[in-house]
Structure 1
Amino acid sequence: MKKTFILISAIFSFLVLTTEKSFAQTDQGNFMVGSSIANLNFDDSNTSISFSPTLGYFVIDNLAIGLTPTISHSSTESLIPGQKYKTTTWGIGPFARYYIGDGTVKPLVHAGYSYLSSKSKDDTSNGVIETKSNYSNVKLGAGVAYFINDHVSVDGIVNYNLLFSEGNDSQGSVGISFGFQIFLD
Structure 2
Amino acid sequence: MKKVLFAALMTIAVQGVFAQVNKGQWLVGGSAGFESHKRGEVKATQFTFSPNAGYFFIDKLAGGLRVDLTSLKYKGEDASSEFLISPFVRYYFLEAAQKVNVFADASYGFGSVKDGGESASQNGFAISAGPAIFLTPNTALELAVQYRSMGGDAYADDNLNTFGFKVGFQIHLGGGKK
- TM-score grouping bracket, smaller chain normalisation: 0.7 to 0.9
Q: Within 5 A, what are the aligned runs for 1:24-173? A: 25-39=20-34, 48-75=46-73, 78=76, 84-102=77-95, 103-121=98-116, 130-165=117-152, 167-173=156-162
Which amino acid in the other structure matches residue 164 of structure 1? G
1:9 alignment counterpart = none
| 1:142 CA displacement | 1.5
| 1:72 CA displacement | 1.1
Number of residue pairs the alignment of both structures matches:
147
Cα distance per residue 1:144-181 (max 9 Å; x no partner): 10001111000111111111115522221111111010
C-alpha distance in structure 1 between counterparts of 2:61 and 2:122, whole Å: 27
Out of 150, 173, 178, which is 1:184 matched to?
Answer: 173
1:16 alignment counterpart = none
Gapped runs of 5+ residues in structure 2?
Answer: 1-16, 37-43
SS at match of 2:79: strand
Cα distance per residue 1:71-119 (max 9 Å; x no partner): 11234573xxxxx512011121100000011311111111001112111
| 1:40 CA displacement | 7.0
Gapped runs of 5+ residues in structure 1?
Answer: 1-21, 79-83, 122-129
| 1:35 CA displacement | 0.7
| 1:120 CA displacement | 0.6
C-alpha distance in structure 2 between counterparts of 1:152 and 1:131, whole Å: 40
2:8 alignment counterpart = none
Asked if the contact 2:27/2:173 (under 8 Å) is kept, the reply is: yes
Asked if the contact 1:23/1:147 (under 8 Å) is kept, the reply is: no
TM-score, with length taken from structure 1:
0.73
Q: Which has the larger radius of gyration?
A: 2
Cα distance per residue 1:38-57 (max 9 Å; x no partner): 1278xxxx874210001000
RMSD value, Cα:
2.0
Asked if the contact 2:35/2:162 (under 8 Å) is kept, the reply is: no
